[in-house]
Structure 1
C-alpha cells in the first residue's frame, strides 16, 4: 500500500480533508481503523492491526469534551481492552455486573466539581 493510498484511507475515515486536519489539531495524529464500539459516554474505540502493537487500539473522545480530555474518562471495561488486559472488547464479551461495582466517574481534580 502506497503512502498516497494510506493517506486516502485516513482522509475517508476522518470525513474529508477538513475533518482530518481537525482531528490532527485535536489529537496530534490521525489514523484510520475499524470502529470496535462506543461507550455510554460517547467515546469511540478503534483498532487497526496495520499499526504496531501498543498503538493499534485507540479512543476518540466526543467533541463535547473539547480539548479537555484525559485517560480517566475511559471506563474500566474499555481500559481493559485498550491496555491489552483483555483480547475481546466489552461489546463482544461484557464484564459481569457485581453488586459492589460503582458507576464510572472521571477524575475531577482541579475542576469546580471537585
Structure 2
C-alpha cells in the first residue's frame, strides 16, 4: 500500500537528505555535484577525495567520487589517482585500499593533476626561430 501511494519514494528522499548531512549538507552537495546520491563510503585517497558505491543505481552510475573540499568548485577528473581511476571505471572490483597485491615501488612518482590552463602549465622552450612572426603595430 505504501508503494502504491508513493511513500517509499518519500522515505528514500529523506534518507538521501540525511545521508548528505541534512538540509545544509544536501544543498552544498547539490551545488557542487548537481545531484544527490547516497552510497557506501568505499575509501579515501591521500588527496581527500572520497569514493562511494551504491549498487542500487545503474552500472556506470553506481560508483562516484566526491572531490576534496579544499578544491571547491575547481575540481577536475585528473585529480583522481590512477589506482582509484581503475576502480571507478570497472577495471577492477577491488578498491586500492583493499588490494594487497598492488605494487608500490620507490621509483614510482606521486600522482599530479593536469595543470593545463593554469600558470603552472608546462611550456616547452624552443631555441629555433619561428617561421611565422606576429605583426607588431608601428609605435
The number of aligned residues is 114
User: Could you tell me how far 1:101 is from its partner in structure 2?
Assistant: 2.2
User: CA RMSD for the aligned pairs?
Assistant: 1.3
Which one of the candidate residues 16, 23, 41 is aligned to 1:17? 23
Which one of the candidate residues 99, 108, 113 is aligned to 1:106? 113
1:24-73 CA distance string (max 9 Å, x none) = 11101010000000000000000000111000000000111010101100
Please say if 1:81 is aligned against 2:63: no
Find the residue that maps to 1:84 and give its secondary structure.
coil
For residues 56-67 of structure 1, what are the structure 2 equivalents within 5 Å?
A: 56-67=62-73
Find the residue that maps to 2:65 and give its secondary structure.
strand
Which one of the candidate residues 52, 57, 71 is aligned to 1:51? 57
Bigger Rg, structure 1 or 2: 2
Measure, in 1, the Cα distance between the counterparts of 2:48 and 2:79. 10
Which runs of at least 4 in structure 1 moved beyond 6 Å after TM superposition? none
**What TM-score, normalized by structure 2, do the two folds share?**
0.78
Find the residue that maps to 1:45 and give its secondary structure.
strand
Structure 2, unaligned stretches of length 5 or more? 122-139
Alignment correspondent of 1:31: 37
User: Could you tell me how far 1:98 is from its partner in structure 2?
Assistant: 3.1
Q: Which has the higher contact order (CA 8 A, sep 6+)?
A: 1
